[in-house]
Amino acid sequence: MLKLNENYLNLQAGYLFPEIARRVSAHQAAHPEADVIKLGIGDVTEPLPPAVTEAMAKAVAEMADASTFHGYGPALGYDWLRQAFAEHDFQSRGCDVSADEVFVSDGSKCDAANILDIFGAGNRVAVCDPVYPVYVDTNVMAGNAGPPKPGDDSGRYSGLVYLPMTADNGFVPEPPPEDASAPPLDLVYLCSPNNPTGAAATKDELAAWVAYANRHGSILLYDAAYADFIQDPSLPRSIYEIEGARDCAIEMRSLSKTAGFTGTRCGYVVIPKTLERLSSSGQPVSLHALWSRRQSTKFNSVGYVVQRGAEAVYTAEGRTQCKSLIDGYMANAAAMRTALTDAGLAVYGGENAPYVWVGCPDGADSWGFFDQLLTQAHVVGTPGAGFGSCGEGYIRFSAFNDRAKVDRAMSRVVGQLGALSDR
């Protein structure tokens, strides 16, 4: 009899953002006059930079002419784009990453999900809490997470290891202490600058993870989708700035937030050619080779027009324009930080990341505060509890919006807080 992937039956509720969308739609239907301001889902609002749209328009014209038309491209991406990624995101910062270690993709969500294909069953997988839900749900689908924890209504799974991120550890978890009775972690998802907390790991903090991984043969799955939002020059933008990372880390990057590609779709994965692990029979296996085979077999890269647009992000004009985009969003983040701090809330993140992570006012839980802001202030955040149990009591605001709306939203949120404290 046909067998289904019954791991899917262990998935809980819907994906977070569709649930938010459902509540927002219901509110808008009930209050069509309300000027709802969305600081929830981390979707950019500014258009693609001119350098990108000019390159895409030129590429579309090439696709219209037989002499310049492009059919199937290389399955791993065009060399000129892999070269641009390697040069500008790594080599220019002193990281040893070559173009043929870069795999072009249609975004970090896909890469973070698909990377599990090359790993086997039975790995001990660690995720942070709070966490980007894709890491968890894809491990549920792959059978690594098992069923939900009995008696736990926070959404945790029995088979995953959760690394709490709290105000106490600055929202950057440390590697677990050496403990002969606890098996080491095999796969560790790290995201810095962090979604959802906005925290950015220091070199020392990442070095501790690299040392842990190299001691135990773990693989670090390092999601640096927000790397370009780092303002503090002492913070690492890539895990490959840490010595030893080539022996344990896979890094994922995206143009979604850097260059406004959420609706255009391009990102990439880096896997060092030297990264190997042993098969069960003791044979060294190249993870780069496994991923090459995976991508060649299951993927055909992204379209030519999109790759040309991505390449243009790295021209002099493209870099200037993207920096200006990021500066605008980070000014929003700073404005949010100021308004919410002045209103007496505990405010984290937003300094090296486009997310501000805010403690709910006394006694409020995440979804309660979310609903209150939605219905009373017509402002949409993302409930911290939606990212995991350690997110309870927090709400995430995204800096992706235009400044006028951000200011209007903050003034309404602050007003709502005043109304609360007057009760």
Q: How far is the CB of 415 from its own copies (least distance, A)?
A: 27
Would you tell me how many other CB atoms lie within 10 Å of the CB of residue 302?
Answer: 22
How far apart CA 360 and CA 347 sit, in angstroms, is 10
For its own copies, which is the closer residue by CB, 187 or 413? Answer: 187
Torsion of CA 360, 362, 366, 368, to 10 degrees: -120
Candidate list 26, 34, 182, 278; residue touching its own copies; CB under 8 A: 278
Q: For residue 126, give both structure tokens.
A: 């660690």
Candidate list 269, 302, 377, 380; residue touching its own copies; CB under 8 A: 302
Which parts of 11-70 interact with its own copies (CB under 8 A)? 11, 15, 18, 41, 43-48, 50, 53, 56-57, 60-61, 63-66, 69-70
Q: Give the rounded distance of the alpha carbon of 188 from its chain centre.
A: 14
Q: How far is the CB of 264 from its own copies (least distance, A)?
A: 4
Q: Specify whether the CB–CB gap between 155 and 148 falls below 8 A.
A: yes
Q: Specify whether the CB–CB gap between 126 and 115 falls below 8 A.
A: no
For its own copies, which is the closer residue by CB, 231 or 292? Answer: 292
Quick check: bond before 176 cis, omega within 30?
no
Which parts of 361-420 interact with its own copies (CB under 8 A)? 402
For its own copies, which is the closer residue by CB, 223 or 351? Answer: 223
For its own copies, which is the closer residue by CB, 182 or 278? Answer: 278
Q: How far is the CB of 325 from its own copies (least distance, A)?
A: 11
Candidate list 83, 194, 197, 264; residue touching its own copies; CB under 8 A: 264
The kind and range of the H/E element at 213 are helix 203-216
Q: How far is the CB of 56 from its own copies (least distance, A)?
A: 5
Buried b (16+ CB within 10 A) or exposed e, 209-246: bbebbbebebbbbbbbbbbbbbeeeebbbbbbbbeebb
For its own copies, which is the closer residue by CB, 7 or 98? Answer: 7
Q: How far is the CB of 66 from its own copies (least distance, A)?
A: 5
For its own copies, which is the closer residue by CB, 110 or 208? Answer: 110
Helix axes 304-312, 50-63, angle to 10 degrees: 150
The span of 7-15, 94-102, 228-236, 349-357 binding its own copies (CB under 8 A) equals: 7-15
> Is residue 123 part of the contact set for its own copies (CB under 8 A)?
yes
255 half-sphere exposure, CB direction, 13 A CA radius: 31
Q: How far is the CB of 285 from its own copies (least distance, A)?
A: 6
Q: How far is the CB of 250 from its own copies (least distance, A)?
A: 12
Would you tell me how many other CB atoms lie within 10 Å of the CB of residue 162?
Answer: 20
Which parts of 144-203 interact with its own copies (CB under 8 A)? 186-187
